[in-house]
Amino acid sequence: MKHNFMDIVSRASANKSKFDSSVEEIAGALDSSIKAASRKIWASPLRRTPVQTTGWLRGALSYPWVFVCAVLPVVFELAM
């Protein structure tokens, strides 16, 4: 029984050391990839994505449904 317990403890210790080393490897790889990505971000020019517009007004009023749902009922109410 004592030998079996000591065997379990030694296997657990070995597994813990494997786990710790794999965590250290992952942390090192993550750190190096973050450093590489940060160098790429600062080295490359800023790319702006084109803003999709409908050609109407700016912001929320650039959508025709806003005009139909908000402006036209007010116009019809004022006309009557």
Structure tokens at 62: 């650039």
Which tens digit of pLDDT belongs to each residue from 16-44? Answer: 999 999 999 999 998 988 888 776 655 45
- Cα 16 to Cα 6: distance, rounded to the nearest angstrom: 15
> Do residues 60 and 34 both lie within one domain?
no
Which tens digit of pLDDT belongs to each residue from 37-69? Answer: 776 655 455 556 665 655 556 666 567 777 778
> Do residues 40 and 69 both lie within one domain?
no
Q: How far is CA 64 from CA 57, 69, 74, 76, in A?
A: 9, 9, 15, 17
Question: Which residue range forms the structural domain that includes residue 38?
Answer: 1-47
> Do residues 42 and 55 both lie within one domain?
no
> Do residues 55 and 39 both lie within one domain?
no
Domain count, the chain: 2
> Do residues 8 and 33 both lie within one domain?
yes
pTM here is 0.42
> Do residues 11 and 43 both lie within one domain?
yes
> Do residues 58 and 79 both lie within one domain?
yes
